[in-house]
Structure 1
Amino acid sequence: MQRSPRLSRRASASVLWSFVRFASDQMFNFLVFVTMARLLPTEDFGLFIVALVYAEVGKIIASGGLVSSLYRAPEITPTLADTVFWSNLLLAFIVAVAGLVLQGQIASALGRPEGASVIAALGFVVPITALGASHMSRNLRDFGHKSLALRSLLSGVIGGGLAILAALNGFGVWSLVVQRYVTETISTIVAWMAFRWRPGFQFSLQTLRRQLPLGGNVAASQLVILFISRSQDVIVSRSLGASAVGIYRTAWKSVELIAQGTIMPFSTVSLPTLAKLQSDPAAFRNAYLRIVAVSAAISFPCIVGFGLLADQLIPLIYGAQWEPSVPVAQVLTFLVVPYALNFFADPALTAIGRADVIFRLALVQLAGTVVFCSLAAPFGLTAVAMAYVVRSYLTLALQLWLFNRATSVRPLVVLRAIAPPVAAVATMAVAVLLLGLAKSQFANAWVFVVCAALLGAAVYGLALGLMVGAKVRGQALAHVRGFIAERRG
């Protein structure tokens, strides 16, 4: 059985609208982030980032696991829908109350006792998120990315605008809390408008028990994956202070914004697409390799290009006070290959019901992150970033092996799919570095950045075009023409 043309067209349309959605999301996130970075001191950023760990954990507990049942179920019955919705909401309120009661202990454990009240406030964002989790997942299941593009646009504009207004009026770290509340509230409202479903009261404990194994595995895996990233913040917080957390997370956020903006549109579509192909191994394999290859071709030059120009871009964009983020960001761009594979391994394994594999791999990654970053912390932020990159490549081999066992997609086949973008981006890097030798000849930093970006794009495009071959170029163009014809029809 081959992937149906209709499914292919719907996936292509969803990728397009995912780009619109993530482009608006990332654009406003970036603009707000830049503005807030110029308005708030590094300490406020660091305090908020550490406090946000609790809300992110609560969000996964309340909404991250059970909604996976809505993706994989052949048919969503009223009982299943109501059970997932009310279970998510109950868990969310438990998280909120626990954050209020235990705020002091949680803040101390995270290394920032002064952030107790911020933790308590952020905990009550979780029920707002849970209210819209089922609606959003069911809309995505039906490839409803077009309507959800509005969600990102509205939440980004209004939430970011109010956060900036609060910062200008001296709210400090609380302006970031305001942004979180407004963004999640608008997102939930739009999710309800996009998917016209109202929860009933057909809650079933038996249905909940049937969904708990998969949902629990997915949530546990997501928690471990979250800790892989956020454990670095806690280690830096306890070892180097809140300001260091702000500097480290600014570098991380800069790279992450680019990665999410270029990879997440494909990753979001991959789960419902691959879930529909779970009974056809050949079609599943082909779809997975195709989406990984296309995503890598788009994301690699953007991520690596930022790293090559970070010494110019970070002071220009964020201000001179963020220059210590430059070497950290440059090191983190070496995560380009793990990013390309990590963003798709989890959706693919979830689609075939192998969340247990995600969990085992994530545990190894978490243990490695804690050990490597803890050992590196006394040597500074750049050393922490280097430790994380080394750990990522060491565990990449394990990821490919486990993925092969679960899906029969061989590691060499996966690596071959991303080989052309790797070679092309290496060629691009050489060209940009050579241009950098004449940096002093340019009128100012912005002129150099623009010229370097144009040169890099031209070299990358030419190199990639030569490497992928005429057959692949023809297939890609045919796919694009078919999609355009479908839209016009």
Structure 2
Amino acid sequence: MTSDQSPAAPAPEQEVSSRQVLRAAAWLGLAKISSYGLGFAGTIILARILVPEDFGVIALAMAIMGILAGLLDLPVTQALIALQSPTDDEFDTAWTISIIRSILVALLLIAIAQPMAMIFNMPEVSGVIIALTLNVMLFGLRNPYFENFARSLNFTWDVITEIISKTVQVIVSVSVALIWKSYWAFVIGLIAGTLAAMILTYLTYRKLPRLSLRSPKRLFDYSIWLGLSMIVSRLTAESVNLIAGRRFGQGTLGQVHIGNKLSSDISYLILVPIMRSLFSAFSRLSDDIYRFRHAYLKAQSATVALAMPVGFGLALVADPLIPLLLGPGWELAIVIVQFYAPCTGLLLATGPIRSVAMALSRTNLMLKRDVVVLVLQVSLLLLGTWLYDFIGFLAAYAVSTFIATVINLYFLKGLIQISIVDQVKNFSRSILATAIMIGVVLAVRPMAESSGTFFGDVLTVGVLSLTGALAYAAAHTLLWIVSGRPEGIERSVMNVAGKIKPKLARFGIR
């Protein structure tokens, strides 16, 4: 064991190049593509075995657990990434705080399980909530020294841990579902995956933490505002499920849960690897606002260029895609995806905002933003539901997402001194290219109507997806050329293509 104040396996504090960030994002991209791919496949299989009511039970239990866990959350592990040279005492303190938090959350979950089941008229939820306390405990036991990999932008073990734990979760969930045909399949699979991830954090970083509360100051100084912000953010996210469950019942909540999951998984698979690698990189650029601003604009441009066509494209093909994936009984999920997927793509235009605030130690500003968005979303959802029932609920979600995006642009203006107009200009080509893509797909769609068979649906989805992708790429490239070929994702793609072309030529490919 090292001395109390010596840096614990410190990550090197050297300059971070764009190549390092891209390499880190690529590794995390591989992990998320694999993880979300496995999770997506698992969800599809479970949706074909289980019924919407089963997913409603899980969605409500996870929402309650998420809110309660958020109320006691102190993101001390993220503080370990952001702090300069954290000591062994700080790693030990972070681990101890995580354990204490997990115990408190577990006890509170047990206490409220039965009352929540009565309030939402779902008796099954009580047992699921109590079982999920084990998942909370396992997550709190993760090795804090594992974060040293992220500090040095080395995400190899993140990739391995992510893929193995998700594989365990999917295999266990599907196996139990095939045997029991019950929502317990998801619960058991989730616990198995979390257990695997926890064990791997110790196997991959061979340094054991110890129980200690000797160095909480820097952790609390960093985490307190961020923790409060994450509480409010979690309330905002879960308010959708709580309102849907209370107003529309178990079956509709299950449809909302699946529709939201399908919409967000595909888009967030783009964002999450970028955000984690950017947070590590942004933390090292926080003293140079000009380089920081430049890095943010590049990240924003790339994120929107990928997320927006995916979100709107998913909505365009939802009608044939959802029955193809989920089978009969999930018709309402089609409408949900048509609303949710574009909203997710739009919101990702300001996806890096939390990484920016964390890197600049302006998490108090994020708290203000999160409170505004929470009040806005809950108010609009309640009003929309009261006025127009379920369609009002969906419309209110779309409106609140648009307003939240504008609010994010405003707060980013204060964080990195970039006007809202300049931010929108930064991804304007992606907006225009997406609009062109939508027009082209809608024009082609009548000629690609499905025959109603499995292969007909596959062909329709394939034709529309390929048409949309080609239209978007062509429009984006043309707009870039007309704009004078400015720096952006197009130039990065051209540079990569230029490097690959000579290698392909060796094999006779031109």
Which moved further from structure 2: 391-400 or 441-450? 441-450
For residues 449 and 183 of structure 2, the distance between their equivalents in structure 1, rounded to whole angstroms, comes to 39
* Letter of the 1:31 counterpart: A
TM-score computed with the length of structure 2 as normaliser = 0.89
* Match for residue 182 of structure 1 among 192, 197, 200: 192
Superposed, which structure 2 residues align to 1:23-422 within 5 Å? Answer: 23-60=33-70, 65-109=75-119, 112-132=122-142, 134-170=144-180, 172-204=182-214, 207-336=215-344, 338-378=346-386, 379-422=388-431
SS at structure 1 position matched to 2:17: helix
For structure 1, which segment, 138-147 or 453-462, has the greater mean C-alpha deviation from structure 2 after superposition?
138-147
* Distance of 2:145 and 2:132 partners within structure 1: 22
Q: 8 Å contact 1:301–1:425 — kept in the other structure? A: yes
Structure 2 CA distance for partners of 1:420 and 1:197, relative to 1, 3 Å:
farther
Deviation at 1:337, TM superposition (A): 5.0
What's 1:434 paired with? 443
Distance 1:261 1:426, change over 3 A: same
- Give TM-score, length-normalised by structure 1: 0.92
Note the C-alpha offset of 1:139: 2.2
State the Cα distance separating 1:277 from its structure 2 match.
0.4
CA separation of 1:227/1:314 partners in 2, compared to 1, >3 Å: closer, same or farther?
A: same
Tell me, in whole angstroms, the C-alpha distance in 1 between the residues paired with 2:419 and 2:151: 28
Task: State the 1:479 CA deviation.
Answer: 6.5
Establish whether residue 458 from structure 1 lines up as the match of residue 470 from structure 2: yes
Task: Say if 2:347 and 2:405, in contact at 8 Å, map to a contact too.
Answer: no
Equivalent of residue 468 in structure 1, options 461, 466, 480: 480
- Contact in 1 for aligned 2:67/2:238 (Cα 8 Å): no
Asked if the contact 2:74–2:224 (Cα under 8 Å) also holds between the matched residues in 1, the reply is: no
> CA, structure 1 residues 46+136, in 2 after alignment: closer, same or farther (shift >3 Å)?
farther
Q: For 1:124 and 1:441, how far apart are their aligned partners in 2?
A: 46
The whole-number CA distance in structure 2 between the counterparts of 1:37 and 1:262 is 24
Higher mean C-alpha displacement, 33-42 vs 94-103: 94-103
* Equivalent residue letter for 2:468: G
Letter in 1 for 2:86: I
Instruction: For 1:400 and 1:235, locate their aligned partners in 2 and report how far apart those are by CA, in whole Å.
Output: 27
C-alpha distance in structure 1 between counterparts of 2:71 and 2:501, whole Å: 41
The alignment of Structure 1 onto Structure 2 pairs a total of residues equal to: 481
The change in CA–CA distance for 1:210 and 1:75 in structure 2 (over 3 A counts) is closer
- Whether contact under 8 Å (1:332, 1:386) holds in the other structure is no
> Does the 8 Å CA contact 1:368/1:391 hold for their aligned counterparts?
yes
Cα distance, 1:381 vs. partner? 3.1
Q: Give 1:171 shift.
A: 5.0
Deviation at 1:405, TM superposition (A): 1.4
Deviation at 1:343, TM superposition (A): 2.1
Cα 1:209–1:106 change in 2 (3 A) is farther
Distance 2:95 2:183 in 1: 32
Q: Tell me how far 1:103 sits from its aligned partner.
A: 1.8
Task: Classify the secondary structure of the residue corresponding to 2:228.
Answer: helix
Identity over aligned pairs, percent? 19
Q: Note closer, same or farther for the CA distance 1:256–1:199 as it changes in structure 2 (3 Å cut).
A: same
C-alpha contact (below 8 Å) 2:244/2:252 kept by paired residues: yes
When residues 186 and 417 of structure 1 are mapped into structure 2, their CA distance, relative to the original with a 3 A threshold, is: same
Judge conservation of contact 1:274–1:284 (CA < 8 Å) in 2: yes
Q: Which has the higher helix share?
A: 1
**What is the deviation of 1:215?**
1.1
Q: Distance in 2 between matches of 1:332 and 1:90?
A: 36
Q: Please tell me whether the aligned partners of residues 68 and 218 of structure 1 are also in contact (alpha carbons under 8 angstroms).
A: no
CA distance in 1, matches of 2:371, 2:143: 26
Q: 2:9 — aligned with what?
A: none
**Mean Cα displacement is larger for which, 153-162 or 209-218?**
209-218
Cα deviation per residue 1:201-242 (whole Å; 9 max; x = unaligned)? Answer: 4531xx324422431221221121122121111111111101
CA distance in 1, matches of 2:76, 2:448: 53
Matches of 1:380 and 1:325, distance apart in 2: 16
Which is worse superposed, 115-124 or 461-470? 461-470
- Could you list the runs of 5+ residues in structure 2 that have no partner in the other structure? 1-12, 503-510
CA distance in 2, matches of 1:110, 1:135: 40
